[in-house]
Each structure stands twice: as structure tokens, then as C-alpha cells.
Structure 1
């Protein structure tokens, strides 16, 4: 079965798809529907990126990707530069991660009018002022560290600023969300958290088991992120976060980002209203200053061609076989929100939240201000 990375390489991601209001919103179409403060908002996606890394230099699709980044209005995105979702029992992850970071640094250097590397909070401010997309290097899993916490400062020197402890599986640090044992942090995992704090790198607990999340929150001396997740109270799935963990995260100053994957429901395809419901539940549980957005999808809209639909059904069948989604779920689930399938989805979502009575201050925090606060507190 092909993994998600291979799937993304093969399907057609198109920033040339209309960057406009979504079809579901109908009468809301047009620039007048945008949330007016969005242009001056620090919007940060806690799990996203561009597909340029899969394209050869000179590919005309690169320009469309860059334009999607600009059309998104995002100040920054947390980009995964480390391999995830598989076992790494040697230095393969270490070498692959270093190579991928160098590749991304080259991409950023080639397109300085569109992209900038974020190493400190001031870089977020500069990215917003220059209307460039800030790129934050992060890991989804600590496999590249192997058994050596001294690799943490090495990766920091390369620009990594957020490290997620686990992916779905168990690793040397702790249990991922798909492990039935729920074993929590290892002794080595506690050493990793301590070193991440010392090196001023943000600890990310997304994909962790409930116990790993809880123990990670307790072990960290700095605020943590749960960069992309859903609320388990609304959709009781291992990938989502329980109210107890949300409250504990908030009490320590952290932020949880709401994901755009099918984890937001246990039956049919989630839509924009489901994203809103999870945001509102998280706000009610842990407070408006502790909620963000981590879509876990590329910035550019998906062009839903016949080839894409065919490949997507195959991908979803494989996900169900692996137990990621229940077998009763339909084959035509999408790992994006169909009525937010535009590059400027944050603007559209802000407008929906505003129409439901949420204040501009709250919305600005959810769109990225809350993530920015944690990054400022940790990075300095």
C-alpha cells in the first residue's frame, strides 16, 4: 500500500484551481465575503506546506504553488522536514532529514520574494510585513534523533524549531496514538523533552497517545503544541485529543490546532461546519487563547480530477486496511475539507466564525496569534 507521501506525489495538487469562495457558501461568493481584518492578521497553519519539494526545478507548476502560498494570506506554515510514519532502526531517518532540510533551504533561497525561513519570532513579524510565506521547519516524530539527544542542537542549527515526539507508532520516545498499549513517555523521551526545552525548540504532542500527551505536558517546562488534532469529545478516535489533555495543555500555556482530516467525524466526510464545531468545543474546554488551526493539508487547493478521485479511493481503502479509519467509513473520504478547498481557506473560515458571533480578537488568535505566542515564549 502506498503511503501518504507517495500518494501526494502522484495526485494532482493544483494552485490554479479557483481561489475564491467555496461552492457550498453560494451567495457568500466574492471578495466582499472576506473577513476584513484578515489582511493584517498573523495567520499560521500548524501543519501544512507547498508541494514544490516534489517538483523538478523549472516545472511550470512551481509558479502556481508559489501563487497559492501568496493567495493563502498565511504568515507562516509549520512544514514537516523529517520522515514520519514508519520504523527507522538505523541512521536512515537522520540522513534523509538532513538532506530534506538542505533541499528546502535551497528552495527558500531560490524564491526569496515568496518564501522566508522562520528561526525566531521576529521572522514571523517580517514574513507578515513582507507578505511572504514563512516556513517553520518541524519534525513529525523523533526518529531522526536516534538515541542521541545531542542531535537536537545540530538540527536546531539547521533551522528546526518544532519537534513532534511521536507519529502514530511507538518509537524510542513514547507511544503514538495508534498503539493500544498507551505506554506514555520513556525515560529517553523525558531526556528528549528536557533537551528540547534547553535548546528552545517547541515540543509538539500531535499524534501522541493519551498518556504520551499527558506525560509530555507534565515533563515540559515550556508551553507545548498539539499542532494538528481534533476533539475526542466530538469524535471518539485515537487520533483526537481528550478534554483532560486539552485542559492540561492549556493550563501550561499551550495551543492545540484543529485538523482538516476525516478525524473530525466518525461516519461521513467532515465539512466546514465540523471544523467550526471542533474549534468551538476546544475554545469552551481550554479557552480562546489555546486554540489554533493545523490543517495537515497542502496550501494549494486540490484539483478533483477523475485521476485524483480514483487514486484517492485507493488511498482511503489502504488507510482503512491499516486501521487508520474504520472499515465502515466511505471510500470517498478526503483528507481536506471540500467546502474549504481553496488556498485562502483561513480567510473563509474566519468569516464563518465571525458570522457565528466570535469576536475579531478571538478569531485572530485562532488563525495564528496563539501559535505565535507560544513560539515567542519558547524561541525568545
Structure 2
């Protein structure tokens, strides 16, 4: 395919110019097929400027430094969902049952990201089941998404650390397939090998509900890793697959950290000390993760990383979680897993409240609801605003490079096979 990086960048106004030049050719998902013949057409949400989310204000000199940082250092999102939701969320269940998720290629071309751990829509791949997390559905979801990605050359499937570095060099974005929970492997240990063979490089232990491996964060009693769960952790270590405990219960998280021979990730969470929510991690788990060399990615999904001082969710409350964790375990063990998407994320949570166990994972205290997380609306604006905030607040280039990607790469060099 033709390299259109310069042509694309030249058509952008200075305010909307992408943070890094990427090989975006204007490709839209499934454009190799015929609409309304090969698939049902749904009107999708805008990838850019859907809502008036604010940009972090910096001086021209600081903006120049931000762009230099993006150019010189690897930018890795530890957790996102880079699909585009339907504009009308009343259509979401029919949309999901078609099994075709549109990737936000244009939005990603603006994001400045070199690497994204994309988590598909795993639990909501409800092609054969209203409950989700079925093996056949997850494989269908994965294959359909990668089929689309194979028809363009800006986003590339990545399975090694070398792939991540090369993507940046080539003006591309490395797509690391991740799945948030392992319920679909049931009691079949070899299914982890199959997922690895299909390109999956990060797997969560449990997604809120308990499963064959261990307890989820919604369970009133978390018994920790099961015997099978311990086998699964060891298998992931042997394969070279990163492990995530973001949605696991506290005891299951601790057991996983202890049993794993390799450092693990909390790909998207925050500090429970700042807001009493099961969705966030207590200090002792964040410390245990860091002591084994692991990393916590700070998340921005609506109404998660709020605090007692900042109950209205925004980039400032999000960064309060970042600074708390960095002070708790050191700058070498913190990164960013925004957990955002293209479309109405708050509305999507409302629609999928039961399937995603939203209610059970929120704090008991009341908090102001927002229509979107200001400054962190989608993958196109999250990392540019995060780096602007870090520059504005006096962080060094060295520390920004660590939290924006370097810390994650260090763990992957230990956790992955290569």
C-alpha cells in the first residue's frame, strides 16, 4: 500500500495535526466488502470531536516539547478498546451479534500511540450467548478483527517486543491482542496455547465474575486462585503471555502475583486509597505487583479513577491516581491503560451494566455522573493530553518516557517469550 503519511499530515490544521505521522491511508473497516450486501450497516459515532472534551492547555514551547517526546520515545497504551460504537446505542446488541467491530483507524492516527493493548469486546461478543465469554464467540471476535486489520498497513498485529519497536520506526501502530478474563477457556488448559497461537499476548485471570481460575472483583468472597488457576498462570509463564489482574478479586490478585514466575500487569485500575471501589486496587496489592517487577496502568473509564478531592471524573482526578501510585511504588512501576473507546462510553456502560458488572464494581458513596471524562474522551486524545499534563506539571523527559511506554516494555521483555 502507498505510504501516505506526509500527504495525510499536510491536510491537517495545526490544531488537529496528529501527534506523530502515521501510515494512515484513509482506510475504513471492512471497506473491502460491499455494504448492505456483505454486512448490515450501522451509523457509527464520530472518531474525532464527538464532544467538546477539553485539551490540556500548555504553552507553545511546552507543546513543542510534547511533540518531541512523542517522536523520541515509545508510546504504549496498556489497555484500550479501539473500536467505534454505534451512534445509537439502542442498536448495540444487534451490532455486537454481527461480530464486526469497526476499528477507529482515523482516530488512532491522531493518538500518537506506537503500541496499543487492544481488548476487543471479549465479554460482550454475544453472537451465540446473552451471557458472553463463550469460547466460540471470543475466537469469532478475534478472527474478524484481525481479518480487517490485515487489509490495511497502519495498524499491525504485534507478538514480539521487536514488533513494537519496529512499528514506531515504520510509522505504524502495533496492535497487541489482549483479553480481560479467561472464563472462555473453561477447564481446558491448552486453550491458552491456542489463544497464544492466534496472537493473544495478554490475558486476564477473571473479569469481575469468578471462573475456573479464581475470583472476580464482584464476588463477596474471593477464595483466590484455584488449583486450575495456578496451572493456568504457570502455562502463561511458559508460553510467554503477559498476565493481568485488573478485574480479579484481591486474594486472586495476590495469589497470581505470588505464583507467577514473571512480573505481571494491573493493566487498568487505580488506587482504592483515593476512592473506595472494588474496581481499584488497595495499596498492598499495588506494592506486591511492583515488588515482583510489575506495573499498574492507570485507567480512565467513566467514574473509575475519581477521588475524595475530585469526585467529578476528569484528567485531573485520573492523574491524582497516577501520582499516588508513583509515590507509593516508584515511577518505574506505573504506566497508563486508559480503557477508552470511540463513542458514548457512559452510555455503553449503562447498556452493558449487567453484563459488565458495573454496579458491583463502583464505590458505595454517591458521586457526580459525567457525560464523558473531560480530557480523556477517546484514544485519539488520551495520550496527547496525558503527556501534556506531565510536561505542564514538571516531569522530566526520562520519567515521561518510563510511564508512557518504557516501564511496560521492560516487563514485556521479561514476560513474553521474545
Alignment TM-score, normalising by the size of structure 1:
0.83
- Residues 1-380 of structure 1 correspond to what in structure 2 (within 5 A)? 13-17=45-49, 23=54, 25=56, 32=64, 34-51=66-83, 65-81=104-120, 83-84=122-123, 93-112=134-153, 114-261=154-301, 262-265=303-306, 268-298=311-341, 300=342, 302=343, 311=347, 315=351, 322-326=359-363, 329=366, 332-334=369-371, 337-341=373-377, 343-379=380-416, 380=418
Q: Distance in 1 between matches of 2:111 and 2:80?
A: 12
Determine the C-alpha separation between the residues in 1 that align with 2:375 and 2:133.
39
Identify unmatched segments of 5+ residues in structure 1: 1-8
Q: How far 1:152 sits from its partner (Å)? A: 1.2
- Residue pair 1:77, 1:134 contacting (<8 A) in 2 also: yes
For 1:53 and 1:11, the matched residues in 2 are separated by 9
Comparing 205-214 with 42-51, greater Cα deviation is found at 42-51
Q: Distance in 2 between matches of 1:323 and 1:107?
A: 35
Q: In structure 2, what is the equivalent of residue 5 of structure 1?
A: none
Could you say what secondary structure the match of 1:163 adopts? Answer: strand
Q: Is the 8 A contact 1:313 1:332 kept in 2?
A: no
CA contact (8 A) 1:316 1:331 kept: no
Q: Is the 8 A contact 2:156 2:175 kept in 1?
A: yes
Closer/same/farther in 2, CA of residues 234 and 120 from structure 1, 3 Å limit: same
Encode CA deviations 1:233-269: one digit per residue, 9 max, x unaligned: 1112111111111111111111100000212126733
Q: 1:15 aligns to what SS in structure 2?
A: coil
**Whole-angstrom distance in 2 between the partners of 1:122 and 1:317:** 38
Question: CA 1:157 to 1:312, structure 2 compared with 1: closer, same or farther past 3 Å?
Answer: closer
Query: Per residue, is there more helix in 1 or in 2?
Result: 1
- Residues 1:103 and 1:278: Cα distance change in structure 2 (over 3 Å): same
Task: Indicate the SS of the match to 2:223.
Answer: coil
Q: Deviations over 1:165-188 (max 9, x none)?
A: 011111111111111102111111
Match of 2:18 in 1: none
**TM-score, normalization by structure 2:** 0.76
